[in-house]
């Protein structure tokens, strides 16, 4: 059995502005770094074998913060873990999209990566990780849309209608030939910081 903790990166300025990031290489903001520190403290309560991450800065920095806390120096960067490509939509807000392309903008071909493509590449990475770490416990830091599309393929019965929160943990395990989701979109590690605000 291989256990994987799927992590969405910490927050960025564009997250707060509700701008589509896609594969634009934005860094974490200060809140995102603080979220990653809280997440790392939670993950440090358990034992982990390896960390994989998207090579985009917001994910790789989140992974480095986790690795520093866990004493795992090597972060395996994999471009297949990048966010879904947003095409012309990247950098825009919903309001800007409506103004530019109208209410049906989401039905237009604006160069965005298809959901199925995200499912295929995300699933391929996780299957490769299982091969590298049979019976291992692995952290994977990636992005909301590609993680949800990956889960849609691996655990079709899972309700993925709720978007993943920044630094949320989704735990999946592979038993023999089947994937199961044990935890979805959990960010209780952020509760203490919310209470102090």
Catalytic site positions:
9, 83
Residue in this structure with the two tokens 């520093």, named with its chain if needed: 68
| Cβ atoms of residues 92 and 100 within 8 Å | yes
Q: What is the DSSP string of 31-74?
A: HHHHHHHHHHHHHTTS---EEEE-SSHHHHHHHHHHHHHHT---
Left if phi > 0, otherwise alpha if psi is -120 to 50, otherwise beta: which for 165? beta
| Cβ atoms of residues 51 and 76 within 8 Å | yes
Residue in this structure with the two tokens 């297949």, named with its chain if needed: 80
CA 72-145-154 angle, to 5 degrees, is 80
- Radius of gyration for the alpha carbons in the chain, expressed in angstroms and rounded: 16
């Amino acid at each position: 059995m291989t256990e994987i903790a799927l992590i969405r990166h910490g927050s960025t300025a564009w997250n707060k502005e509700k701008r589509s990031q896609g594969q634009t290489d934005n860094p974490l903001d200060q809140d995102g770094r603080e979220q990653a520190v809280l997440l790392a403290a939670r993950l440090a309560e358990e034992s982990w074998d390896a960390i994989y991450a998207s090579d985009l800065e917001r994910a790789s920095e989140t992974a480095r913060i986790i690795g520093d806390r866990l004493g795992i120096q090597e972060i395996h960067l994999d471009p297949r873990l990048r966010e879904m490509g947003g095409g012309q939509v990247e950098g825009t807000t919903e309001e800007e999209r409506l103004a530019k392309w109208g209410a049906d903008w989401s039905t237009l071909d604006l160069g965005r990566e298809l959901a199925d493509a995200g499912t295929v590449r995300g699933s391929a990475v996780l299957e490769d990780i299982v091969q590298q770490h049979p019976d291992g416990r692995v952290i994977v830091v990636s992005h909301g849309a590609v993680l949800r599309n990956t889960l849609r393929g691996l655990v079709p019965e899972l309700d993925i209608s709720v978007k993943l929160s920044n630094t949320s943990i989704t735990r999946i395990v592979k038993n023999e030939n089947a994937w199961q989701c044990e935890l979805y979109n959990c960010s209780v590690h952020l509760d203490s910081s919310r209470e102090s605000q």
